[in-house]
Amino acid sequence: MSQVIECVPNFSEGRNPDVIQALVALVRSVPGVALLDESHDTDHHRSVVTFAGRPYAVAEVAFQMARLASQLIDLQSHHGEHPRVGATDVMPFVPIREVSMQDCVQLARMVGQRIGNELKIPVFLYDQAAARPERVQLEWIRKGGLKGLADRMATDTAWVPDFGPKQLHPTAGATVVGARWPLIAFNVNLKSGDLLVAKSIAKAVRQSSGGLPSVKAIGVELRSQGLVQVSMNLTNYEETSLHVAFSAVEREAAARGVEVAGTEIIGLVPEQCLIDTAQRALHLDRFEGRQVLEMRLDSAESRAAIGRLVGTQPAKESPSLPAKPVAPTDAVVAEQGLTGGSVGALAASFAATLGTMVAKLNRARAAETRLSEIGTRLRELVQADRDAYAQVLKARKLPSNHPDRAVQIASGLLGAIETPMEIVKLCCEVIPLLRGLLAQAKPELQPDLKMGIALADAVIDGCIAMVEENMKVQPNQQFIASIRERFAVAEQMLVDAKSLCYTPPFDSCSQNMLNILKLR
């Protein structure tokens, strides 16, 4: 399963549709990243964009959005209800799938450093990425607004930014970059024009004033609607659910003789949060996600059954060789549109398939399951490498002065680096699994395992060479340093895998590749 990181940048612009659409269009232009949501508010004068994808593609989009916002948004002429300190006000990275919080912290620091160094915008790290305790909470950084932050930066050495210059950017201000767990932006509108009412309710319900745990709240005025609003962030919906937060605001409003006009969720909300809210609000004794129609239809079992109904063949859980084997000839490779990385992934998938076959015959269930999973993922990477290569070719055909040319080339190269890196790591798992089966396999099955080991070993050497070559033309040196650091984590896997293939452990080719990547 692919690594997925979410990014939810907040921009100090909610009234100019051209600026908002330019930011959204940038997300849509980069492969490997999916635009999930965009919302904006004229009273808050703020936009929130949510996107997700491969870690380094997400990082590249995040930086390019900060660059674009610094060109299009001028805080000197900005007036809105929402607290802010920057054109790109806050940029959190959120772990979604197959990534850790530390991965997001590393990405936040990398992007923050780039914003500070290249855009000359001071960057403050917050939440899980904070380097100082006084910067953990976003509201502490925003205290006093833009002027308050500028004064602290000028007079207090504790408020030197983590990256970038020691003074605010003249038009873009500062940017707060961090890593956090998923949160829910939940607003309750009140049938009142009295801002003091909203502020008093916000104070009553937020955690910092002794209210609900994991709730942040402020009172704001919605002049366009003639209402006031309690704007909340639920940082842990398991501690305080939507239903509990709403009930608290409704209760406090009633005590002040004010009714609720409506509510809104800004951005996205975790599925489980809605299930919990429905269960509590309706007093259901039992309610599970599998009772939701669309979720049940989306299950693997339902997809397989529906596939049979419409006359298609459902995907098998255990991998098998392709119905039409790909012959190792230049003609077929050209016809299939394969690349070096996709051929490597395909070859490695054959190695995993050979191991799956032997494991099944030997009733080695654990090895069979893992090799099956690896084979499935490797076959997915065949297309991933092909897509990355196609993106690079497409980007290089753009005119040299095209505004998106650089970001599209960088994004394609990221895919062309990340895919072979992942192939190498999977091969490092395949080799010891096959070697373990070799000790217990019957003599007639041992040549199959030896062939699989040789295939995986050759793929490792080829993919490391591809990573090195693609890194030479990757223009972003900070990405290169991060990639080397990330690959170094897997060095021991590579050492162990190679030691099972050769005596001495490394052949000259593999040793040279390790030296090139500075993994040792």
pLDDT digits (tens, 9 = 90+) for 90-132: 999 999 888 899 999 999 999 999 999 999 999 999 999 999 9
372 found inside a domain = yes
119 found inside a domain = yes
**Do 154 and 224 reside in the same domain of the chain?**
no
**Do 502 and 403 reside in the same domain of the chain?**
yes
> Tens of pLDDT along 36-80?
989 998 888 999 999 999 888 899 899 999 999 999 999 988 888
317 found inside a domain = no
**Do 115 and 260 reside in the same domain of the chain?**
no
The total number of residues shown for the chain amounts to 520
Cα–Cα nearest to 59, from 419, 426, 415: 415
Indicate the number of domains in the chain.
Answer: 3
Describe the strand order of the beta sheet including 215-222 as a list of residue ranges: 215-222, 227-234, 184-190, 260-266
**Do 494 and 431 reside in the same domain of the chain?**
yes
**Do 374 and 504 reside in the same domain of the chain?**
yes
Domain boundary among 235, 266, 290: 290
* The predicted structure's pLDDT at residue 81: 80
Tell me the pLDDT band of 490, cut-offs 50, 70 and 90: low
CATH for 270: 3.30.70.670
Residue 328 has pLDDT above 60, yes or no: no
Domain boundary among 179, 200, 229: 179
For the chain, percent of residues with pLDDT exceeding 90: 46
CATH for 511: 1.20.120.680
**Do 166 and 190 reside in the same domain of the chain?**
no
Asked whether the beta carbons of 510 and 498 are under 8 A apart, the reply is yes
**Do 375 and 238 reside in the same domain of the chain?**
no
**Do 381 and 496 reside in the same domain of the chain?**
yes
307 found inside a domain = no
314 found inside a domain = no
Residue 198 has pLDDT above 50, yes or no: yes
**Do 92 and 26 reside in the same domain of the chain?**
yes
Reported pTM: 0.61
301 found inside a domain = no
Which residues are identified as catalytic? 82
Cα–Cα nearest to 42, from 13, 78, 83: 13
Residue 327 has pLDDT above 50, yes or no: no
Asked whether the beta carbons of 105 and 131 are under 8 A apart, the reply is no
CATH for 117: 3.30.990.10
Within 13 Å, how many C-alpha atoms sit on residue 124's CB side? 32
Domain boundary among 144, 179, 214: 179
Burial 83-92, CB ≥16 within 10 A → b, else e: bbbbbbbbbb
By residue range, what is the domain housing residue 248?
A: 184-290
Please tell me the distance from the alpha carbon of residue 466 to that of residue 461, in angstroms, as a whole number.
Answer: 9
* Mean residue pLDDT across the chain: 83
Tell me the pLDDT band of 388, cut-offs 50, 70 and 90: confident
**Do 372 and 489 reside in the same domain of the chain?**
yes
**Do 29 and 144 reside in the same domain of the chain?**
yes
Residue 395 has pLDDT above 70, yes or no: yes
118 found inside a domain = yes
147 found inside a domain = yes
* The predicted structure's pLDDT at residue 422: 87
**Do 128 and 192 reside in the same domain of the chain?**
no
